[in-house]
Amino acid sequence: GIILAIESSCDETSASVVSNGKVLSNIVSTQEVHQKYGGVVPELASRAHQKNILPVVSEALKDANIKKTDLNAVAFTKGPGLLGALLVGASFAKGMAMSLDIPLIGVNHMQAHILAHFIDDPKPQFPFLCLTVSGGHTQLVVVKSPLEMEVVGETIDDAVGEAFDKTAKIMGLDYPGGPLIDKFAQGGDPLKYPFPNVNIPDYNFSFSGIKTAFLNFLRKENQKNENFIEENKADLCASIQHTLIKILMKKLIKAAKELNIKEIGIAGGVSANSSLRNTILEEGKKKGWNVYVPDFEHCTDNAAMIAMAAHYQYEGKDFEALNTSPNPRMKFKGTNE
Ligand code: ATP
Ligand code: MG
Ligand code: FE
């Protein structure tokens, strides 16, 4: 089938067309209004989605060389995400499904991040273990099939992307700070400033303590030297990045070993981090894992991943009623929550 997919869960307005599992287009418009606020402002996100959605969808169809009347289904991100932002995509998709008289597909954004692995080759074999690291989530997921996934561990407080963004903000960097930490960390000493790592049981994570430790450390150093951050930016970025990656790797290694899985993937915005990508590839060589790392454009929010998820749901006839509504706290499909 030919499916149009729309993503609008946060601050990217995106549309993609997939044909029988092959992505034909993927248009992403990143909202810039949030930069000066140091984080996503929900009301501004909704308004920007409203403004962007029609041109983004038109461009995705044009780029794919597909007419509206060629479509067999329309998909949208049902959740999790910001309610107002999700509503824009959901309403638009409903309108299209209704007027074209084709099925509507509701996609879980976090499962879609994982299914980004199925856009390009090589594709992981099942079961595979995915470390999903994004702005709002940090999860270890056992993926048994495209539609059967089990969360085996997750953060008990902040997401790792949030830890990147908040520590960046403390250093005075723009939002989102993750990519800037990645950039400034190049050439920095990752072992210069060791930050504590609290022990969390099982396959769960905690990141809120690091942020506080970092803030306290900088306050103290700043009293001695008010240019401390500026003078040590590379080492600070490298050290905080190293600490965050160490926490992620510890649990990934533990889960891979105990669950006896050697097919390993990373997904979500933070999987664009160059040091995380290198670390996991190197660890994979030592452990004999097959490591899968999505293309950069499929790590951060995009509709191609929503389209990929929709492709599998279309084959399983998992459709939504036209009176459906988005769910900001949506759990994985197939789990009864
Ligand atoms: P969720 O997917 O949990 O709903 P989200 O959609 O806002 O949250 P994504 O778009 O998947 O999150 O990822 C955005 C996050 O990825 C931000 O926290 C951003 O700082 C982080 N990020 C992007 N690139 C990098 C990078 N190179 N290094 C570190 N972090 C990065
Ligand atoms: Mg974003
Ligand atoms: Fe996301």
Given the CA of residue 137, which atom of ligand 1 is nearest to it?
Answer: 3
Contacts of 47-54 with C-beta under 8 Å, sequence gap 24+, read 48/11, 48/13, 49/8, 49/13, 49/85, 49/88, 49/89, 50/88, 52/13, 53/6, 53/8, 53/13, 53/15, 53/88, 53/89, 53/92, 54/92
Ligand 1 pocket test, pick from 175, 270, 301, 327 with the greatest ligand atom count within 8 Å of Cβ, gives 270
User: Are 92 and 9 a contacting pair, CB within 8 Å?
Assistant: no
User: Are 230 and 222 a contacting pair, CB within 8 Å?
Assistant: no
Interval 24-37: pLDDT, tens: 999 999 999 998 88
Q: Is 311 annotated as a binding residue?
A: no
Tell me the CA–centroid distance for residue 186 and ligand 1, in Å.
Answer: 19
pLDDT at 136 over 60: yes
User: Are 106 and 75 a contacting pair, CB within 8 Å?
Assistant: yes
Q: Which of 106, 42, 56, 116 is nearest to 79 (CA)?
A: 106
User: Are 301 and 92 a contacting pair, CB within 8 Å?
Assistant: no
Supply the residue whose CA is at minimum distance from atom 29 of ligand 1: 178
Structure tokens at 111: 């499962």
- Rounded CA-CA distance 183/206 in Å is 24
State which amino acid sits at residue 331. K
Q: Is 109 annotated as a binding residue?
A: yes
Q: Which residue has the tokens 């009347």?
A: 69
Q: What is the mean pLDDT of residues 307-314?
A: 98
Q: Is 133 annotated as a binding residue?
A: yes
What pLDDT does 335 receive?
Answer: 66
* 130, β-bridge pairs: 141, 265
pLDDT at 182 over 60: yes
Interval 238-256: pLDDT, tens: 999 999 999 999 999 999 9
State which amino acid sits at residue 124. P
H/E stretch holding 256: helix 233-258
- With vertex at residue 269, the alpha carbon angle to CA 268 and CA 274, rounded to the nearest 5 degrees, is 110
So what's the ipTM on this one? Answer: 0.98
- Rounded CA-CA distance 327/137 in Å is 16
What percent of the chain is predicted at pLDDT more than 90? 96
Query: Is ligand 1 within 6 A of the CB of residue 164?
Result: yes
Query: Is ligand 1 within 6 A of the CB of residue 79?
Result: no
pLDDT at 337 over 70: no
What pLDDT does 125 receive?
Answer: 98
Q: Which ligand is nearest to the CA of 138?
A: 1
Tell me the CA–centroid distance for residue 110 and ligand 3, in Å.
Answer: 7
Q: Is 117 annotated as a binding residue?
A: no
Query: Is ligand 1 within 6 A of the CB of residue 182?
Result: yes
Given the CA of residue 81, which atom of ligand 1 is nearest to it?
Answer: 4
Q: Give the DSSP letter string of 239-252.
A: HHHHHHHHHHHHHH
What percent of the chain is predicted at pLDDT more than 70? 99
Q: pLDDT band at 23, cuts 50/70/90?
A: very high
pLDDT at 118 over 90: yes
- Rounded CA-CA distance 130/294 in Å is 11
Interval 258-290: pLDDT, tens: 999 999 999 999 999 999 999 999 999 999 999
- Rounded CA-CA distance 256/292 in Å is 14
Given the CA of residue 160, which atom of ligand 1 is nearest to it?
Answer: 18
Mean pLDDT of the chain: 96
Please state, in angstroms and as integers, the Cα–Cα distance from residue 210 to each residue in 63, 117, 127, 240, 247, following that order.
Answer: 44, 30, 32, 8, 11
Start-to-end Cα distance in the chain: 30
Q: Is 113 annotated as a binding residue?
A: yes
In three-state secondary structure terms, 63 is: helix
What pLDDT does 199 receive?
Answer: 87
Question: How many C-beta neighbours within 10 Å does residue 95 have?
Answer: 12
Interval 197-214: pLDDT, tens: 888 999 999 999 999 999
Supply the residue whose CA is at minimum distance from atom 19 of ligand 1: 178
Query: Is ligand 1 within 6 A of the CB of residue 135?
Result: yes
Please state, in angstroms and as integers, the Cα–Cα distance from residue 167 to each residue in 42, 87, 164, 210, 318, following that order.
Answer: 21, 31, 6, 9, 40
* 136, β-bridge pairs: none
